[in-house]
């Protein structure tokens, strides 16, 4: 069951003038299908708009912040921030999944934690804020809950690359990834991966694709190694 959307407003420090915009941003298609109410709208159009808004503001940030980066590096860095993995991390930080309206069947299959759903809802939320109050508020939200949230995290710079750099300090180290499970319907699978160092699991993660799952496993491994002081 989803939490009251007023709790999300309090969490992000923004109160909607038009509450319907927020509700639409948080409405997954599975909820519409089960409710069978034609007057309801899911968040897919908002997701489309929010994706464009996020890409613009992240591009602006990177252009100003990394003045020495060539176009290729800017593009790669932006992609790492606005990809499903990055947005899902941001969504998890504000517990966005717990506020989504979704069908009981989808919820029973772990929909509230599925990166594909939470990242889409994050994009839709950005669109709702933009539609409710314009560029300034949307920009502030993106800066606080995406740019500031990801900057400095290894996922921002590609967790797999960062992990490889960390373990290369010992030439005998061998890192590889294994897919350990997958779940969900065929059109919306969730993959689970493990990062193994010299055959021992050091991190685990999940994602909408095998690549995303490996990135999350790498990020988990980095946190594990840092906790051990390695």
Q: State the residue for tokens 């299959």.
A: 109
Per the DSSP assignment, residues forming a β-bridge with 203 are 195
Count of Cβ atoms closer than 10 Å to residue 47 Cβ: 19
Note if 95 is an active site residue.
no
Listed in order, strand segments (DSSP E) in the chain are 175-183, 190-197, 200-207
Note if 136 is an active site residue.
no
> Which residue is catalytic, options 42, 107, 123, 154?
123
Coil, strand or helix: which one is 152?
Answer: coil
> Which residue is catalytic, options 42, 51, 154, 212?
51
Coil, strand or helix: which one is 206?
Answer: strand
| Structure letter (DSSP) for residue 16 | -
Active-site residue set: 51, 123
């Amino acid at each position: 069951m989803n939490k009251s959307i007023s709790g999300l407003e309090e969490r992000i420090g923004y109160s909607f003038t038009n509450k319907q915009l927020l509700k639409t941003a948080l409405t997954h298609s599975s909820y519409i299908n089960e409710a069978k109410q034609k007057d309801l709208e899911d968040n897919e159009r908002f997701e489309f708009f929010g994706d464009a808004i996020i890409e613009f503001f992240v591009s602006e940030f990177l252009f100003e912040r990394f003045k020495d980066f060539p176009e290729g590096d800017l593009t790669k860095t932006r992609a790492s921030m606005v990809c499903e993995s990055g947005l899902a991390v941001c969504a998890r930080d504000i517990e966005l999944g717990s506020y989504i309206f979704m069908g009981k069947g989808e919820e029973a299959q772990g929909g509230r934690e599925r990166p594909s759903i939470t990242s889409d809802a994050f994009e839709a939320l950005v669109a709702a804020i933009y539609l409710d109050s314009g560029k300034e508020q949307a920009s502030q939200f993106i800066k606080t809950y995406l740019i500031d949230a990801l900057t400095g995290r290894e996922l921002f710079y590609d967790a797999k690359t960062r992990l490889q750099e960390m373990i290369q300090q010992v030439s005998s180290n061998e890192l590889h990834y294994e897919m350990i499970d997958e779940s969900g319907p065929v059109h919306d699978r969730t993959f689970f991966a493990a990062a193994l160092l010299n055959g021992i699991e050091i991190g685990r993660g999940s994602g909408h694709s095998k690549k995303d799952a490996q990135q999350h496993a790498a990020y988990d491994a980095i946190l594990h190694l840092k906790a051990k002081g390695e």
